[in-house]
Amino acid sequence: MKTLWQNCNAATMANGTYSIIEDAAIVTRDGYIEWIGPRLHLPPAEYDQTIGLEGAWVTPGLIDCHTHTVFGGNRSGEFEQRLQGVSYAEIAAAGGGIASTVRATRAASEDELFASARQRLLCLLRDGVTSVEIKSGYGLSLESERKILRVIRRLGQELPVTVRSTCLAAHALPPEYKDRADDYIEHICTEMLPALAGEGLVDAVDAFCEYLAFSPAQVERVFKVAQQLGLPVKLHAEQLSSLHGSSLAARYQALSADHLEFMTEEDAVAMAQSGTVAVLLPGAFYFLRETQLPPMESLRKHGVKIAIASDLNPGTSPALSLRLMLNMACTLFRMTPEEALAGVTQHAATALGMGDTHGSLEPGKVADFVAWNIDRPADLAYWLGADLDKRVVRNGVEL
């Protein structure tokens, strides 16, 4: 099917900049972009259909490159407790926090996890998301991590979205390994990762490198096994303290290092040299009322690609809108609307190893795009919330 899309302006996001084409025309064929440029330069051709976009601004489909969408239960009760002055440490000591989500996730059936995650994912899709990364990490046993990863695969099969799965077994210490972190890491390395990768459930491997989670040495053991299994790695790093996890990630050519509030300039240099994408998560920064800002000037100075994501999870970022993260990235982290939009398109695609096929409107890339009824591209970061009027096209077909 060869389609001509016209009567629009395009922010193509090529090379991570707006790269605007006014009065643009887009030719798609069999799910890919065949041609894009000024309508007046359109080469003569026959089309199966011509579609007018009513003066819309067209961007690449949005990509949420860091989510924990699949989990049981919710933690709004903890939200209320913290507003009454109860600390995270007190909540965790009383069995709350990640541990409570692990219990609820282990108790939920695969169908129950699918149903609740589907509802949350539909919220992201209504906001213009056409690709998403989803992590495991609330099972913390082979059986429960497998259950989550199977749900992640099923979400990509049953909904109009490209889904990448990430195994985050090294998210927290399960109760059966209390005070035995090294033994749990050994279990991940010798049992969980080989089995889950062998079942085709894993596209990348992640870990939580933090003083209250796993050390750089423990993370490196997981990275070595991921490397042996031919799987790319990512890392939750420098969220609450500086352990130089992002430099470790760079040494393993990680696709991304994520959070990064406490990263140093030397971490930024290492990430720039390895091409590791900095994924900033303003929802967690906001929800935790953090004060330590990620070092934007270091990231810009050293040319580190910056992505933005929702970090959708029940504890620190119950965020159901990627577009709201654009505003938070600008308002809280002082990114420009252009940087923020690149952060949920081209740079987000690169953070998922999809930079050659997704993330910008260029010939040869997948024809995932959104036609927004807005006045200018910055409107996507400007308007807080709501469901902006839009038309979503995925693989060249309007949803």
The verdict on 210 binding Fe ion (CB under 5 A) reads no
Residue from 18, 57, 208, 252 in contact with ligand DI6 (CB under 6 A) = 208
Beta carbon nearer to ligand DI6, 101 or 274: 101
Residue 113 vs 280, nearer CB to Fe ion: 280
Q: Contact at 8 Å (CB) between 115 and 147?
A: no
Q: For residue 272, what are its two tokens?
A: 């720039």
Look-up: residue for tokens 């199966």?
48
Residues 309-328 touching Fe ion, rule: CB under 5 A, are 311
Pairwise CA distance, residues 255 & 240, whole Å: 21
d(CA 270, CA 250): 6
Residue 218 touching ligand DI6 (CB under 6 A): no
- DSSP sequence for 228-276: HTT--BEEEESSSS---HHHHHHHTT-SEEEE-TT--HHHHHHHHHHT-
> Per-residue contact track with ligand DI6, 255 to 294, x per CB under 6 A?
-----------------------------x----------
Beta strands 162-170 and 129-135: pairing type? Answer: parallel
Which of ligand DI6, Fe ion, none lies near 187, with the C-beta cut-off 5 to 8 A by kind?
Answer: none
Distance CA 297, CA 136 (A): 32
Q: Which of 154, 187, 234, 236 binds ligand DI6 (CB under 6 A)?
A: 236
Tokens read off for 283: 């929802």
Instruction: Please report how close the Cβ of residue 330 comes to Fe ion at its closest, in angstroms.
Output: 21
Binding status of residue 98 toward ligand DI6 by CB under 6 A:
yes
Q: Which is nearer to Fe ion, 284 or 304 (CB)?
A: 284
Q: Could you tell me which stretch among 291-299, 310-318, 344-352, 384-392 binds ligand DI6 (CB under 6 A)?
A: 310-318
CB of 59 or CB of 316, closer to ligand DI6: 316
Angle subtended at Cα 311 by Cα 308 and Cα 315, rounded to the nearest 5 degrees = 150
57 lies in the site for ligand DI6, by CB under 6 A: no
314 binds ligand DI6 (CB under 6 A): yes
In the bound state with ligand DI6, the residue whose beta carbon lies nearer, of 217 and 386, is 217
With a CB cutoff of 8 Å and minimum separation 6, the contacts of 197 are 167, 229, 231
Residue 188, by phi and psi: left (phi above 0), alpha (psi -120 to 50) or beta? Answer: alpha
Please report, as a single letter, which amino acid is at residue 87.
S
| Shortest Å distance, C-beta 213 to ligand DI6 | 7
Minimum gap (Å) between residue 378 Cβ and Fe ion:
27
Q: Which positions lie near ligand DI6, rule CB under 6 A?
A: 97-98, 101, 171, 208, 236, 239, 284, 313-316
Interacting residues with Fe ion (CB under 5 A)? 311
